[in-house]
């Protein structure tokens, strides 16, 4: 027998009543202890269930076809609460980006997300990039008013900022925390996102965030947690998978990483061996859009994670709703229906409308969006160009509702027009090709009025043709794009410097909605039956971006 521990009698100060309670807490030295971490990430406002076509990978992970609707925070809460009853020492950690991605966020600015996440029993979440989508003040307001869980960020410091929200966020966003679970002290630190928050890196730093080097932040916080008796140190991260792997490999202080940002569910989790200590660090990612809830079980002995197991629970139409969370959601749903008529049909699709091109180049929804932007009254440019990731989901066959449109195009982006020279067009497309090369030769832009070959082997754009005429390097072209990349988002810094920019204030989502509505109405009127999208040449891939490797 490894050892026989002495019983520890621990007296706690009770926080709920003026009394002292004495409970038996096991002494854990030398013993095997099971810790369960429930994990969610990148919920992206999918609080209400929705329909989509699961991919092969979704199927492999347990999300079956024809079991929709999928997602929903009330359904997640059901699974989270059920699994809590199937564990002894249980924590729920969320890896961020609960904001942005559905109409409920556009309307309530995160209030519904914060309230319902809290009602699932969540202990802590890390700050992620989309938490700032309605501004830092909004994040401070929503968390101050509604959060019942800890918000973590060890690598952000708001203290030195003179922005009005800094004081609130400095109080709310704590670097780390210890949870004591039947004698097991679990230290948790937050690693907030850096790579996708352009405002941090811009000169104005409009979020007021001073970035702390994440390795130093981990060392500092882990040291404090350990000094305070933490048995293990868990990072809840929104750094992204590559950074998580690198940190696991190179920073010796971490025992477990619960990550997000890249929207991937990895079942089973990766295991990365730390170069210095030889420790095997589980790196857990549990997907996005409320499609899954992850459950990771760890066996810990004397501060060492000995082994782990993992389950991924699909959130589909077979999962009941948790009544407490469903009741909270009801009031928001009623308001949404009143304000937006979310079930209003705005178009019709007879095939799935995809956001990615089947060959890596142009896509159905990309072409539709870019064409709609270019031809919209008051815009009317030669070329349109928008980022592929601004379109967040496919649209299923059948009736297209307002809800579907918001799920696919959640960002409140507007159309910006500008004049670019032929050389600048070449520069933009070369950059887009290079960026696409880094993403498996999957085009990161969608275009109208232009055709080109995306040569991923050499990371250059070739054979560029504008409205049937080869690109003239000395020519001038009027281009419509979205205000996100016009401001340098996703690395398009060559657009940011353009001084001819004109933000039209026209919502891209409204433009797409108008396009869909027009097609629906004209088709219906013409044939007295619903034919709708896609019309030939309107919502189809046509090879305008040819991906070649």
241 contributes a contact to other proteins by CB under 8 A: yes
- Of 103-111, 322-330, 437-445, 524-532, which part binds other proteins (CB under 8 A)? 437-445
Residue of the chain from 71, 110, 269, 294 that contacts other proteins (CB under 8 A): 269
Q: How far apart are the first and last CA of the chain?
A: 60
Question: How many residues are present in the chain?
Answer: 549
205 contributes a contact to other proteins by CB under 8 A: no
Q: Which residues pair with 547 in a beta bridge?
A: 454
CA distance linking residue 75 with residue 315, whole number of Å: 7
Place of tokens 């990365």: 272
> Could you tell me the smallest distance in angstroms from the CB atom of residue 291 to other proteins?
12
Cβ–Cβ < 8 Å for 157, 208: no
Contact string 316-345 vs other proteins (x = CB under 8 A): ------------------------------
Count CA atoms closer than 13 A to 120's CA, side-chain side.
31
- Of 71-79, 216-224, 340-348, 531-539, which part binds other proteins (CB under 8 A)? 216-224
- List the interface residues with other proteins, window 284-303 (CB under 8 A): 297, 299
Q: Which residue number, 31 or 530, has a Cβ lying nearer to other proteins?
A: 31
Strand duo 256-259 + 280-285: pairing? parallel
Q: Which residue number, 426 or 437, has a Cβ lying nearer to other proteins?
A: 437
Cβ–Cβ < 8 Å for 247, 235: yes
CA distance linking residue 428 with residue 204, whole number of Å: 24
Q: Which residue number, 232 or 346, has a Cβ lying nearer to other proteins?
A: 232
- List the interface residues with other proteins, window 480-539 (CB under 8 A): 489-490
Residue of the chain from 145, 271, 351, 521 that contacts other proteins (CB under 8 A): 271
27 contributes a contact to other proteins by CB under 8 A: yes
- Of 264-272, 315-323, 377-385, 513-521, which part binds other proteins (CB under 8 A)? 264-272
> Could you tell me the smallest distance in angstroms from the CB atom of residue 529 to other proteins?
27
Q: In what order do the strands lie in the sheet with 445-448?
A: 445-448, 383-387, 476-482, 414-421, 502-507
Cβ–Cβ < 8 Å for 136, 207: yes
- List the interface residues with other proteins, window 144-203 (CB under 8 A): 150, 157, 159, 170, 174-183, 196
> Could you tell me the smallest distance in angstroms from the CB atom of residue 85 to other proteins?
10
The SS3 assignment for 36 reads: strand
CA distance linking residue 367 with residue 537, whole number of Å: 9
Torsion from C-alpha of 198, 262, 114, 326, nearest 10 degrees: 150
Cβ–Cβ < 8 Å for 456, 549: yes
12 contributes a contact to other proteins by CB under 8 A: yes
- Of 5-13, 69-77, 134-142, 325-333, which part binds other proteins (CB under 8 A)? 5-13
Q: Which residue number, 175 or 532, has a Cβ lying nearer to other proteins?
A: 175
Strand duo 292-301 + 33-40: pairing? antiparallel
- Of 106-114, 366-374, 385-393, 397-405, which part binds other proteins (CB under 8 A)? 385-393
SS (H, E, C) 399-452: EEEHHHHHHHCCCCCEEEEEEEEHHHHHHHHHHHHHHHHCCCCCCCEEEECEEE
- List the interface residues with other proteins, window 352-371 (CB under 8 A): 356, 358-361
397 contributes a contact to other proteins by CB under 8 A: no
């Amino acid at each position: 027998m490894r050892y026989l521990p002495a019983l520890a009698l621990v007296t706690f100060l009770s926080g709920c009543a003026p009394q002292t309670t004495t409970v038996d807490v096991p002494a854990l030295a030398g013993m095997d202890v099971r810790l369960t971490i429930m994990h969610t990430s990148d919920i992206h406002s999918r609080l209400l269930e929705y329909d989509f076509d699961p991919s092969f990978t979704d199927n492999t992970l347990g999300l079956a076809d024809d079991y929709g609707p999928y997602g929903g925070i009330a359904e997640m809460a059901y699974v989270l609460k059920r699994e809590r009853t199937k564990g002894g020492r249980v924590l729920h950690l969320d890896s961020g980006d609960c904001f942005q991605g559905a109409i409920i966020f556009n309307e309530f600015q995160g209030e519904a997300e914060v309230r319902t996440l809290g009602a699932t029993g969540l202990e802590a979440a890390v700050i992620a990039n989309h938490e700032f989508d309605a501004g830092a003040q909004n994040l401070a307001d929503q968390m101050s008013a509604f959060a019942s869980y800890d918000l973590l960020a060890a690598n952000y410091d708001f203290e030195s900022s003179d922005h009005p929200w800094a004081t609130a966020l400095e109080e709310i966003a704590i670097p780390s925390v210890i949870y004591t679970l039947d004698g097991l002290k679990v230290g948790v630190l937050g690693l907030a996102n850096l790579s996708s928050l352009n405002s941090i890196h811009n000169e104005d730093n409009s979020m007021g965030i001073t970035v702390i080097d994440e390795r130093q932040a981990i060392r500092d916080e882990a040291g404090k947690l350990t000094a305070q008796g933490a048995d293990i140190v868990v990072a809840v991260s929104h750094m992204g998978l590559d950074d998580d792997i690198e940190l696991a490999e190179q920073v010796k202080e971490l025992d477990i990483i619960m990550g997000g940002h890249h929207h991937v569910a990895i079942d089973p989790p990766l295991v990365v061996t730390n170069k210095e200590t030889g420790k095997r660090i589980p790196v857990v990612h549990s997907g996005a859009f409320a499609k899954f809830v992850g459950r990771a079980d760890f066996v810990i002995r004397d501060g060492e994670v000995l082994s782990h197991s993992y389950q991924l629970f699909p959130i589909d139409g077979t999962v009941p709703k948790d009544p407490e969370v469903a009741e909270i959601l009801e009031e928001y749903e009623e308001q949404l229906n009143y304000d937006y008529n979310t079930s209003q049909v705005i178009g019709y699709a007879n095939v799935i409308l995809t956001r990615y091109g089947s060959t890596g180049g142009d896509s159905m929804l990309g072409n539709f969006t870019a064409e709609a932007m270019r031809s919209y009254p008051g815009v009317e440019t030669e070329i349109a160009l928008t980022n592929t990731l601004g379109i967040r989901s496919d649209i299923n066959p059948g009736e297209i509702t307002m809800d579907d449109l918001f799920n696919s195009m959640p960002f409140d982006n507007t159309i910006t027009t500008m004049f670019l020279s032929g050389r600048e067009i070449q520069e933009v497309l070369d950059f887009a090709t290079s960026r696409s090369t880094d993403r498996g030769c999957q085009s990161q832009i969608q275009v109208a009025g232009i055709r080109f070959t995306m040569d991923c082997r050499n990371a250059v754009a070739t054979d560029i043709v504008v409205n049937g005429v080869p690109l003239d390097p000395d020519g001038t072209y009027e281009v419509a794009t979205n205000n996100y990349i016009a401001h340098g988002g996703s690395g398009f810094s060559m657009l940011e410097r353009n001084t001819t920019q004109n933000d039209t204030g026209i919502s891209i989502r409204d433009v797409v909605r108008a396009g869909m509505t027009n097609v629906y109405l004209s088709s219906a009127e013409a044939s007295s039956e619903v034919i709708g999208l896609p019309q030939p040449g309107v919502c189809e891939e046509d090879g305008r971006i040819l991906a070649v490797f």
